[in-house]
Every structure is written in C-alpha cells, then in structure tokens.
C-alpha cells in the first residue's frame, strides 16, 4: 500500500501517533489530534505537520481522507460516528504498518500473557538464528520498525483487542491466541463482544496460515469454529490432535506426520499459565523449522519480563513477588496458582468493570493467610473479600503501608504476593511505575537479623 497525497488525521500524540506521523508526513497532509494540550515532541517540529491539541472533541478530525486512531480512543467518540456516517475510513496503526511491512508476521493476543509470549517467541527464534523483531503492544509501535525491515526478518507482534478494532486487511501468517477472560468491559458491552474482537486476529487468514489456539480455554474453543486457517492447539493435557501438549513432564508437538517430544527444561517462568505460554511458543518455533534442542535451550535461557510474577527478594524465609502487571482478577488468579500456601496477597487499585473479584477471593481463600488492600477500591474490595469468606483483611492508605503490613504479618515460609488485580491509574502512571515502587519498598525492608536473597 502506498499512501500519498492524502489528508490524514492521526488521533493521539503518544508514541504510536508520533511514529505514525513520522512515516506518513512527507507525502501526505497530516494533522495530529490529542485531547491533552501537551508539548509537541522535538522530533516532530521539523516535519510538515499540523497539530490540534487540547480539544476533547477532536474537532475537524473527520474532515479527512483517512483517520488513523490510537488504541486508547474508544469507538464511542462522537467524531468516530461522524466519520463513519461520511464513509471516512478509520484504521489502526497496525493496519497501516501491516500494509507497508515486507516481513512475515507472527501476531500474539490474549487477555494475559501476551508480552511474555511475544518475548519468548522472539527469544526462541533468535536462538535459532533467525532475525526476529518484537513490536506492537509490547512497547515498540509496529510502524516504527517497518522502515528497517526486510523480507528476511520476522516480526513478532503483540496485538491488543483495541488495535484489532480498526483493521481491514491485517493478516499474520501465524496468529496465537492465549486466553480470553473478563477485561476491558468498560469498553465492550460483554465478554462475548470482547472475545469476538480478539478473534479478528484470524479473520483474513486462509488455509496457508496458522491459528495457534488454547484448547483449555472454553471461550476460544467456542469462538474459533469458523477460522479458515490451519488450526493448531496447545494444552496442559495429553491430546492426539495437532499441536503442542504436555504428557509425563514432556512437551509433545505434532503437525501432520511430523512429531517430536522433549523434557520441559528448567525455566524461570513460573505457574501453569506460563506452561501454556511455553507450549504456544514452542509450537511457533517448530512451525518455523527449529529443532527440539534449540527450542529447549531457548526456554532454559529466557529471562522473564519485569513486573510479571517477578521474584524480588527472600528475607527471613519470606518470599516477595512483584506481579504488578496483574491488572485483572484472571491474571491475579494465575499468580496465586503459581505459589503454595500460605500467601499474603496485596491487592487494589482501580477496579475493572465487570471483573469477578469475589470469585478471585473465594477460589483462593484456603491459600490466603491475609489480604492487604490499597488504592481507591479498598472499601469495595474489603466488602467483597468479607463476602467471599476471607477472615484477615487489612486496609492501608499507600503501597508502602501495604508492604510493611504484609511483612509484619509474615512468618518464614510465607509468600507476599503483590498482584493487584486492578489497574494502576488511581495512584500511578502505569503498572511499571507501580511495580518499581513495590520493589524499592521491598528492598528497603529491615527486620532484625536478616537471612536474605535478592533475585
């Protein structure tokens, strides 16, 4: 696709909007819109761009030949309705990048585990001697890496449901869907609609492409019936079909007449959900011709991402885990599954609409020695926890107070798990800032004669 001589509205002056504008500015008339009146980045000042900042209505955005919309902008915005009524095409950045991209694409989506799996696939491919680049929702806009790509590269793209809302021809050669659970229900009217948006990952694939699907996820199995590409499954349970499965502590992979197995190597990835991520990633490696030896060595050497079930410190026999990335109950539940009782859970922040917090507490209450609450949701979560049968509930005003309370309650053998199950936006800029502060607080703890290990 060549976009030339168009009047284009780019919605959002974040990293994605900046990268999009830089690619399109030289051959098009580009105006960047943002609700906030934020400073124009220096890298854009020399480009022939127009700016409309500080206008919450995005006035005039629909007066264009094409709109490229930020993932953070919901389709309920009035200018979106006006543009659609005038038949103005609206596309996401990943659609533009896809149509400019010369390299094959592996796209990873799911409610949880996207970043870990994107990074793990990239690591496996690099270990196998392939030129793999991770991009997308993982933090590097797809369109930012496109100008430097060649057909010999492979893009491993993390894709969110927000990015999939405005695709047209976007078609990954391999699409991976990890799971579907309640999240972003402030943006979608139901879990079904959220799931259908996730399934758009596969809508343009054909029989020459691959869809890698979680057989253990009932929503995925219900929604994936009409996928036209070659479906492969991964599961924690033995299976005779095509895909990647666990059997007797071994990974078994089968595609057509080809099959192999190898023992699960020692890895720093913890929890059953990460075994699913490992299976999906191993299947991608196999599809791209890598040997069991290469895949196994890559799994053993992979370094987990920060803020995702990250071991921070063990002090006086108490293990501290930073899982700040857990922004919904589904993700927090997976972290709780990864560790034995007793667990002191630090939870709280801005609650996710429609998420099952009572189910989280009820499912794991036998493991929970105590629940320590923080953030704007504290009073509501305290009531929910009591209703779920949690006996020891503590309400604190800050993350520092919550960590110190959790440590004061702990004894050797306990795990203090910071898995908030809420977004960070009540008190922090993002989950990274929240996780970094948690680690700083934990590393500053002192309690008598210490026997410690810092990870």
Question: pLDDT tens-digit profile of 113-123?
Answer: 999 999 999 99
- Average pLDDT on 33-41 reads 93
- Average pLDDT on 206-235 reads 96
- Average pLDDT on 345-350 reads 97
* Strand segments (E) across 142-296: 153-158, 174-177, 210-214, 230-235, 243-247, 250-255, 258-263
Give the confidence band of 447 by pLDDT, cuts at 50, 70, 90. Answer: low
φ, ψ of residue 45 in degrees (nearest 5): -65, -25
Q: How far is residue 438's CA from residue 239's CA, in Å, rounded to a whole number?
A: 41
- How much is the pLDDT for 450? 61
Range(s) for CATH 3.90.190.20 in the chain?
Answer: 310-454
- How much is the pLDDT for 454? 77
- How much is the pLDDT for 1? 60
280: pLDDT strictly greater than 80: yes
pTM, rounded to two decimals: 0.90
Q: How far is residue 419's CA from residue 348's CA, in Å, rounded to a whole number?
A: 8
CATH of domain 95-301: 3.40.1190.10
- How much is the pLDDT for 3? 83
- How much is the pLDDT for 446? 78
Q: Which among 2, 42, 46 has a CA at the least distance from the CA of 24?
A: 2
Q: Any idea which fold 310-454 has?
A: 3.90.190
Give the confidence band of 349 by pLDDT, cuts at 50, 70, 90. Answer: very high
- How much is the pLDDT for 88? 95
Give the confidence band of 100 by pLDDT, cuts at 50, 70, 90. Answer: very high
Q: Any idea which fold 7-88 has?
A: Rossmann fold (3.40.50)
- How much is the pLDDT for 222? 95
448: pLDDT strictly greater than 80: no
In eight-state DSSP terms, residue 201 is G
242-263 per-position pLDDT tens digit: 999 999 889 999 999 999 999 9
Q: Which among 362, 352, 353 has a CA at the least distance from the CA of 384?
A: 362
331: pLDDT strictly greater than 70: yes
Instruction: Identify the weakest region by mean pLDDT among 18-22, 42-46, 261-265, 447-451.
Output: 447-451
- Average pLDDT on 170-188 reads 92
Give the confidence band of 107 by pLDDT, cuts at 50, 70, 90. Answer: very high
Range(s) for CATH 3.40.50.720 in the chain?
Answer: 7-88
Burial of 342 (0-12, 13-18, 19+ CB in 10 A): middle
* Mean of pLDDT over the chain: 94
φ, ψ of residue 49 in degrees (nearest 5): -120, 155
- How much is the pLDDT for 75? 87
φ, ψ of residue 5 in degrees (nearest 5): 70, 25
Range(s) for CATH 3.40.1190.10 in the chain?
Answer: 95-301
Burial of 226 (0-12, 13-18, 19+ CB in 10 A): exposed
- How much is the pLDDT for 183? 82
Give the confidence band of 185 by pLDDT, cuts at 50, 70, 90. Answer: confident
Q: Which residues of 294-313 are buried (b: 16+ CB within 10 A; e: fewer)?
A: bbbebbeebebbebbbbbbb
The rounded percent of the chain whose pLDDT value lies above 70 is 98
Give the confidence band of 400 by pLDDT, cuts at 50, 70, 90. Answer: very high
Q: Cβ–Cβ contacts within 10 Å for residue 430, how many? A: 15
- How much is the pLDDT for 186? 79
């Amino acid at each position: 696709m060549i976009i030339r001589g168009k009047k284009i509205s780019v919605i959002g002056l974040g990293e994605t909007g900046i990268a999009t504008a830089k690619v399109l500015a030289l051959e098009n008339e580009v105006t960047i819109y943002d609700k906030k009146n934020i400073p124009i980045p220096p890298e854009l000042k020399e480009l022939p761009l127009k700016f409309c900042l500080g206008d919450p209505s995005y006035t005039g955005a629909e007066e264009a030949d094409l709109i490229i919309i930020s993932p953070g902008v919901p389709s309920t915005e009035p200018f979106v309705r006006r543009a659609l009524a005038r038949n103005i095409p609206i596309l996401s950045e990943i659609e533009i990048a896809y149509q400019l991209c010369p390299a094959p694409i592996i796209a990873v989506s799911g409610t949880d585990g996207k970043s870990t799996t994107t990074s793990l696939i990239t690591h496996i491919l690099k270990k196998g001697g392939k030129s793999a680049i991770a991009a997308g929702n993982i933090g590097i806009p797809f369109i930012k890496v496109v100008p430097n790509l060649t057909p010999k590269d492979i893009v491993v793209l993390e894709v969110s449901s927000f990015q999939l809302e405005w695709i047209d021809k976007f078609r990954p050669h391999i699409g991976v869907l990890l799971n579907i659970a309640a999240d972003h229900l402030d943006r979608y009217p139901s879990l079904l609609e959220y799931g259908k948006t996730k399934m758009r990952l596969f809508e343009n694939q054909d029989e020459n492409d691959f869809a890698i699907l979680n057989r253990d996820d009932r929503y995925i199995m219900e929604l994936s019936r009409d996928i036209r590409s070659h479906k492969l499954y991964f599961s924690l349970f033995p299976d005779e079909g095509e895909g990647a499965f666990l059997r007797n502590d071994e990974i078994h992979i089968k595609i057509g007449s080809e099959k192999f197995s190898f023992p699960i190597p020692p890895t720093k990835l913890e929890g059953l959900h990460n075994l699913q991520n490992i299976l999906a990633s191993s299947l991608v490696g196999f599809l791209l011709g890598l040997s069991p030896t290469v895949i196994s060595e890559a799994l053993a050497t992979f370094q987990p991402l920060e803020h995702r079930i990250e071991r921070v410190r063990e002090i006086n026999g108490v293990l501290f885990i930073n899982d700040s990335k857990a922004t919904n109950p589904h993700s927090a539940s997976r972290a709780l599954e990864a560790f034995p009782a007793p667990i002191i859970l630090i939870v709280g922040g801005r609650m996710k609409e429609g998420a099952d917090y009572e189910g989280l507490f009820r499912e794991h209450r036998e493991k929970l020695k105590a629940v320590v609450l923080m953030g704007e949701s504290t009073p509501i979560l305290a009531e929910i926890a009591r209703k779920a049968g949690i006996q020891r509930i503590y309400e604190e005003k800050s993350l520092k107070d919550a960590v110190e309370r959790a440590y004061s309650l702990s004894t050797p053998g306990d795990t203090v798990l910071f898995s908030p199950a809420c977004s960070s936006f009540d008190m922090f800029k993002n989950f990274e800032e929240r996780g970094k502060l948690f680690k700083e607080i934990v590393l500053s703890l002192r309690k008598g004669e210490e026997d410690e290990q810092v990870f």
